[in-house]
Structure 1
Amino acid sequence: MDKFFISLERTPERTMRFLTANAHIHGLIHAPGIDGSKMDVDSMKEKGLVHQDCRFTLGALGSGLTHIALWGSVAKSGRAAHIFEDDAFLCGNFEEESARVLAEIGEDWDIVLWGNNPDTVLKVQALPEITPCVITFSQDDVRENIGNYANKKVVSQPLRLHHTFGICGYAISPKGAKSLLEKCLPLRNENVTYDSLGGRCIQTNSVDHLMNLSYDKIQAYASFPPLCLTDNMSETSLNK
């Protein structure tokens, strides 16, 4: 499987940090990404990629359309791929363990999240046909210890995914890419209610929010424990 990582050409320091943190991963392919600050938003709206009333930040538009472009490539090629953002830190045995997890799932999968933002919840089906589970993380602890993740050997399990936030790293199949392209385009603002957040209603403002509308309807999984962490520094996020 190809392993793409998204990092803007104007932020070479983030590219270098990603490659240094993940030097144990072979065959990483740089996807330069769409720089929202240089994007012709009106053109994107005319092409039907962005809704006329969409209020995403320019960074969120660029990030979202970069993921979507990679989904299009996966769908066209017929080959599944890994996609990472440049704030992803992969565990030491990522290549072996991700392959084992995918083999355990079998052929019928659409997307597997290897990690999520540590400042939010992860809702998964802990006991199939019995009960879901809501998992929380400590973002402060993740940030303090993330530099050691390349030395960690993680044994993970694929759990059916309900919703979460953040797409620091995931695997996507051609079938999943086609489905998410249909579900997430055009990029738009839509209100979503989350029972894991006490019934809070949140308006979508990035592509990972829109993906939450699909997870229950497709073969979506999350690996737990995660094989990929992010320090989730919002001030330097691709979505800014």
Structure 2
Amino acid sequence: MIGEIYIINLDRSVARLDTFRKLNSHLENVRRFPGVDGKSVDRDQLMTNKIITPNLDYAAGSLGCAISHVTLWKEAVARHKVITVAEDDAIFSNQFERHTRSLLSNVRPDWDFILWSASLRCYAWLDALPGGTGARVEFFSGEVMEHIADFQEAETEPALLRAHHLLGTVCYSVSPRGARALLDWCLPIRPMIVDFAGFGLKLNNAGIDCIMNGVMPSLKAYVCLPPLVISDERPEESVRINT
């Protein structure tokens, strides 16, 4: 089970929530989560609570996003339940719930983290072969944003693949154990260089999905391919609803 689907949405982003609901009206068990507005967050209080360090240089949007995800990880731990987290620009396959039930029935129950989405600007690094051989998956947008209905209605045969590193937090499920591991590693959120060991890459921590990769290799993490969720990366003013 993927648990409740929490949609991170700022109070001032009413139009985005409306768009999300129209595009994803087929989803059940969805709960809106009021996202943290990085423009108004009290950084001093976050430092006092050891959520961030004084020298963290996240942009306001990145900080609000990070605190929103951290808060939901705490929810998973406190309730000792799997939860699914999505951002309000997520577009779900019409078969999302059917596929996730089937996929989870065929994966070991001790999984920690599953990324259901693809951000067209991000990569996934996979455990491709035994012995530490990895592969990098890169997505290209093509014309998918012009054919949202085609994506949602497509008949696909997705699989869960073990992942070593993942970027993007458009939609994922996390277990209580996975959430606890993420909290233990990520807090306090701090400046650091994250080493993508084995892939010849080091990234400056500029967002929560980057620092998550410091612990991701130790988790039982998976990525869904083809993805069941994509992010709406069109300019907000040009968003069109397919009917």
Instruction: Verify same fold: TM over 0.5.
Output: yes
The Cα of 1:134 is off from its aligned counterpart by 1.3
Count of matched residue pairs: 235
Equivalent residue in structure 2 for 1:185, among 166, 184, 187: 187
Superposition RMSD in Å: 2.0
Which residue number corresponds to residue 125 of structure 1?
127
Q: Which segment drifts farther, 93-102 or 184-193? A: 184-193
TM-score by length of 2: 0.89
The Cα of 1:120 is off from its aligned counterpart by 2.6
Q: Distance in 1 between matches of 2:18 and 2:220?
A: 34
1:151-180 deviation line (CA, Å, top 9, x unaligned): 123321111111232110001111111111
Moved over 6 A (4+): none
**What code does the residue aligned with 2:209 have?**
D
Residues 119 and 137 in structure 1, CA contact (< 8 A), matched pair in contact too: yes
Helix, strand or coil at the partner of 1:216: helix
The Cα of 1:63 is off from its aligned counterpart by 0.8
**What code does the residue aligned with 2:89 have?**
D
The Cα of 1:196 is off from its aligned counterpart by 8.2
Equivalent residue in structure 1 for 2:177, among 172, 175, 178: 175
Equivalent residue in structure 1 for 2:73, among 65, 68, 71: 71
Unaligned runs of 5+ residues in structure 1 are none
Query: What fraction of aligned residue pairs are identical, expressed as a percent?
Result: 29
The Cα of 1:19 is off from its aligned counterpart by 1.1
Residues 195 and 214 in structure 2, CA contact (< 8 A), matched pair in contact too: no
Q: Distance in 1 between matches of 2:235 and 2:197?
A: 24
The Cα of 1:201 is off from its aligned counterpart by 3.0
Helix, strand or coil at the partner of 1:105: coil
Equivalent residue in structure 1 for 2:146, among 140, 144, 147: 144
Residues 121 and 196 in structure 1, CA contact (< 8 A), matched pair in contact too: no
Equivalent residue in structure 2 for 1:42, among 23, 41, 44: 44
Residues 24 and 150 in structure 1, CA contact (< 8 A), matched pair in contact too: no
Which residue number corresponds to residue 204 of structure 2?
203
Which residue number corresponds to residue 228 of structure 2?
227
Unaligned runs of 5+ residues in structure 2 are 238-243
Residues 118 and 139 in structure 2, CA contact (< 8 A), matched pair in contact too: no
Residues 7 and 15 in structure 1, CA contact (< 8 A), matched pair in contact too: yes
**What code does the residue aligned with 1:83 have?**
V
TM-score by length of 1: 0.91
The Cα of 1:25 is off from its aligned counterpart by 0.7
**What code does the residue aligned with 1:213 have?**
G
Residues 97 and 154 in structure 1, CA contact (< 8 A), matched pair in contact too: no
The Cα of 1:200 is off from its aligned counterpart by 4.2
**What code does the residue aligned with 1:61 have?**
L
Which residue number corresponds to residue 33 of structure 2?
31
Closer, same or farther: CA 195–219 of 1 in aligned 2, 3 Å: closer
